[in-house]
Amino acid sequence: MIVVFVVAVAENGVIGRNGQLPWRMPTDLKRFRKVTMGKPVVMGRKTYESLRKPLDGRDNIVITRQANFAAPGIHVTASVEEALALARKLAGARKVDEIAVIGGAEIFRAALPFADRIYLTVVKARPEGDTVLEPFDAVLWRETSREALPQSANDQFAADFVVLDRAH
Ligand SMILES: NC(=O)c1ccc[n+]([C@@H]2O[C@H](COP(=O)([O-])OP(=O)(O)OC[C@H]3O[C@@H](n4cnc5c(N)ncnc54)[C@H](OP(=O)(O)O)[C@@H]3O)[C@@H](O)[C@H]2O)c1
């Protein structure tokens, strides 16, 4: 079982703005759904609130420091380690081979040492934003696949879908 990140990053590192995604990219959202379906999804409390409701067909695991945080349809955990331990159990019970960490920036940073693979959408734009991710270290991560995402009329920007695998 491996831990994967699923993340869309603009060329300037921006991943979020005002608690939401800084772009409209329905094709990437469809790809996100396909990549994560059936798998435990691990996310920070702010990303959970940006979704407004749990993602269907997936075990939703939310990380928060708030002792009393609770909502229907989610598992609440107090650390990345606790979230990943629960995700491992749930993935085992469902016989899926990946745990998906889906953000945001705080959680990507904290979970990076545990990640084995990154499903990375490179959004070909430099949008304004308040949530930024540092580039993944090219020494630690090897690009094993890259393809252009098809761009429909509703997709604001072009994008590549890239797979990075841990090299060390
Ligand atoms: N482009 C993408 O792929 C993508 C993916 C996901 C999200 N986003 C965007 O990113 C933004 C949100 O990201 P963010 O970095 O601001 O927030 P986040 O990572 O989603 O959530 C941060 C919250 O998680 C909890 N947390 C973080 N580290 C923790 C730890 N070590 N232990 C326990 N709890 C911890 C805290 O919750 P409490 O404050 O409740 O304690 C913290 O406020 C939004 O704009 C969202 O749309 C983009």
Q: What is the pLDDT of residues 119-168, one digit of tens each?
A: 999 999 999 999 999 999 999 999 999 999 999 999 999 999 999 999 97
Specify whether the CB–CB gap between 22 and 10 falls below 8 A: yes
Average pLDDT over residues 40-50: 98
Q: Which helix H or strand E contains 46, and what residues bound it?
A: helix 45-51
β-bridge partners, 101: 5, 42
| Structural domains for the chain | 2-166 (3.40.430.10)
Nearest atom within ligand 1 for CA of residue 16? 45
Burial of 34 (0-12, 13-18, 19+ CB in 10 A): exposed
Please give the model's pTM, rounded to 2 decimal places. 0.98
Site to probe by mutation for ligand 1, drawn from 11, 47, 51 as the one with most ligand atoms within 8 Å of Cβ, is: 47
Residue with tokens 């420091």: 65
